[in-house]
Structure 1
Amino acid sequence: MKAFPPLQQSSRKREFSLYTDAERSSVVYHWLFTSNGFRELDTLCLNLDGAHSHGWQSMGIAHYLGLNEAHHNFFDQCPMSYALSLLLAQSDQDPAYALIYCYLRDWHQSHPQEEEVSVLLAKEHDPDYQTQQVEASYWVLHTLVNSSDEQQIDDQLRALATLDPKKHAVKLGKHHYHVSDAALKEAVKCLYDFQCQICQTRVYRPGWLATLPRSAQWHFLNADAHHILPLYQEGPDSLDNLLCLCPTCHRKFHTEQLHLIRHNQNLGCEDVILGRQWQVTEKHPIILHP
């Protein structure tokens, strides 16, 4: 199995944000499996006039993912199962590999070929390999926190509190970034290092080590993001309306066993069935809507 060339990601997300997952999948597939250049990909994958767009749109998508000339036609004549296996083997190192894997898998599933990919390899129902979730993890790690000092990570994550709700965009430094709903949820989980704000529980995956850098540990942790005021009740999709919870506490909020209470400046939680109360960990502003 030949080594996949190292990725060289760009933080520029403008072109990537303009297109659907299906269009991104098409760009990734054709860049890795064919000899078509970016001008051709603008036409073939994005329905643009490649001669006019100069290939800049598909190039922007590829470069955001870290794909460059070294990856062009890399999987020529290779079976899809080989490509997916190679990328999956490296997905623990960098979520970019997992995202490229997701796009190739999605393209394959929407363009049935003679080759069948096993259910185990496709991971279609694995929540850790849902395309939107992987894209959110990738954006948080490579764009939001990137090379930030450990002490600056919380500030970068809390910066999403300034999100423009109408444009769903945030200004970081000199640049504006579109922030998906999934990325906002991922950010609140990363802010608390996937530790439940109510009971302090963490859910671990194999591979977690306490010696790993903080952001590297996130890949091996699991938690839920909970809207305090539900979206169906017109709750805002904003950082101040989100909690990081373990699956058990998340379910208890939805069954109304748990309720949040504010006393002066302290945020607490009450178990209305068992009559218990305790303080909530609060690293970001949280608003309790009436």
Structure 2
Amino acid sequence: MGLRAFLIKRLTEITVIFFIIMTVLFLLFRLAPGDPVERMVDPSMTPEDAQALRQSMGLDEPLLTQYRIYLKNVFTGHMGVSFHYGEPVTRILMQRLPNTILLFTTSIILSALLGIFLGKIAAWQRGGRTDTIMTIGALFFHTLFLPWLALLMIWFFAYQVGWFPITGMVSPQVWIDPQAGVVAKTLDVLHHMALPLLTLVLIHFGSYLLVMRSSMLDTLREDYILTARAKGLDEKTIRDRHAAPNAALPVVTSVGLSLAFSINGGALTETVFSWPGIGQELVFAISHSDYPLAQAAFLLIAIVVLFANLLVDVLYAYLDPRIRY
């Protein structure tokens, strides 16, 4: 199968999967318990006012009519208006998206670089003390419960030691200060970002280390590694220039998919650290039955994940000449 045929096939599959996801999301929120109007209605509001509000949201329409409106909005790029904020959901998500990308893309890249570096060292010293310590450490951090680690980091580094802010992304006093320049504001964001970033790196680097170690061990058994040794190349060159680049291919796939899933903002992480991103907004939308906002967030995640899978498949073929579609 040629690359063009492969792309057509995968795009067809993506279209079908996306349509199924849209339908499931629509039914999931409509059939879930809870009424968004009940969460918004003021105690002094009359039942007539509540019904008028429900009509303005289109919640009094039959389910099939709501579904047709929903599909039309999706394919015309109009994702609706948030029940809670009263603003277009696209605007709300675009305001939160850069915050999520900043935190999670940075954490994934740092985790991958650290995991690849330590993984190749662990594999090169298989069975030794270094390998044992790195493997146990990777398994320990990888299996930690993220909210527990996040709260522990906040308790120690923010509350006990006081090195970092407890929550949030910025300090209001810095951003409202007319004398504060770009450097001061950037440092303020990085200061708030340090704890969630460190937490995410500790949680995720272990998986990349273990994947890299396993792949590296398989690569070291290949014939071209024996040939490189027979040519008299030093061990560091063989490890870093011959074995590691090929062994890193599975890690590239893992990183690509992780970057795609990072768009959801890690709802738990953003909620614990009060980081104003997609994940925190998604939790809020679900808890307040804000259908348009929750649906738009999930659809954004689905689109990115589906096309990231396609991109990883194509990238893998370019990185490994043995793969042909």
Judging by fraction of residues, say which structure has more strand: 1
**Bigger relative CO (Cα 8 Å, ≥ 6 apart):** 2
Tell me if TM exceeds 0.5. no
- TM-score normalised per structure 1: 0.22
TM-score (norm 2): 0.20
Structure number with greater Rg is 2
